[in-house]
Amino acid sequence: MGHTVLAINPGSTSTKIALYEDETLVFFEQAEHSEEDFAAYTEILDQLDFRLEVIRTTLNKHQISLSTLTAVVGRGGLLPPVHAGGYLVNEPLKHMILSGMLSPHASNLGALLADQIAAPLGIPAYIYDSVSSHEFREIAMITGIPEFLRHSLCHVLNSKAMGRKVAEKHGRRYEDLNLIVAHLGGGISIGVHEKGKIVDAIGDDSGPFSPERTGSLPLLYIVDLCYSGQYTKREMVRKIRGMGGIKAHLGTHDCRKVEKMIAEGNKKAKLIYEAEAYQIAKGIGELAPVLNGNIDYIILTGGIAYSEMMTGMIAERVKYIAPVEIMPGEVEMEALAFGALRILRGEEFPSIYPD
């Protein structure tokens, strides 16, 4: 029996909606949201009904009957550390999201939106490969501050999906490969995938700077800024995430504009762009010893991976470690739907929160 899966991916400025009949995409839409759309909402969780109406309107436009759905899957948010793979959306999971304890992020709405559609139909709602999926070894969690442990926060959904695609390309199983996957987007994260598990990673605030994030910085410098009296906590977070990186240097986070500046002879733009590639390559090199250099492939993915200039600069520095595979863009909607399909077919089993 076939399955019809609705996938929902809420982002800060969009809601992505896709419908799959088994592995076949029926439709995909990305509803863009303006600042005015959210002006009336104090908190991200307040956007739930607005986004739900957007999804229902989209389904009506495509003349999709809800009765045809087998399951609904949403993007996993910034939950406390959870297992990779799928989770059934249950009351404890919803309670954790609604508690206000999570870092505010639009992805937190994924589980709630999926549940709102699935529950009245009596079908399962899932999340899959949450941002906070945690597969680190114990040694990777240790820091120099005993009361603080490192946990995984990276682009799990797209990174694992691209790992599966590279494995398929080479006639191998993702679970049999050792990979380093660098997701290059508005934020940059780099993960070590050992036989299907992300055993260590550099998050988007602890590694290379990106188009709009500062990446890692000397801690004492940050301490000085925080206690300087010049910034509130909100302003500091915004300075680090949203107003940092290439945007802080060049006034834009659009890499296409940066490359145009370089083509027009802008030496500063060239230096900053090369510095980003340099730091990404350093991050990849930093993680290679985790598996004693036993790496099958290095994968460069995400929106910036469309740039031949950027991927070429990175590959030149890291190709000695392993062959470099360029997998531009993201396949998050497919990854969500295919994850749900594996659960529905009994190929995987969903975790139950809390576990």
Tens digits of per-residue pLDDT, 143-180?
999 999 998 888 999 999 999 999 999 999 999 999 99
Q: What is the pLDDT of residue 123?
A: 98
Q: Which residues of the chain have pLDDT under 50?
A: none
Can you say how many angstroms the Cα of residue 138 is from the centroid of all Cα atoms in its chain?
Answer: 23
4-133+332-352: CATH homologous superfamily? ATPase, nucleotide binding domain (3.30.420.40)
Look at residue 132 in the predicted model and tell me its pLDDT: 86
Which two structure tokens, joined as six digits, stand for 110?
A: 């994924």
Q: What is the pLDDT of residue 83?
A: 92
C-beta of residue 324 within 8 angstroms of C-beta of residue 300:
yes
Phi, psi of 82 (to 5 degrees): -130, 170
- pLDDT tens, residue by residue, 235-250: 998 899 889 999 999 9
The alpha carbon dihedral of 315, 316, 322, 324 has a sign of positive
Q: Using alpha carbons only, what angle is made at residue 310 by residues 305 and 316, rounded to the nearest 5 degrees?
A: 110
Q: Are strands 178-184 and 197-202 parallel, antiparallel or unpaired?
A: unpaired
Locate CATH 3.30.420.40 in the chain: 4-133+332-352, 155-322
Q: Determine the CATH number of domain 155-322.
A: 3.30.420.40
Predicted pLDDT of residue 201: 96
- pLDDT on residue 316: 98
pLDDT of residue 12: 79
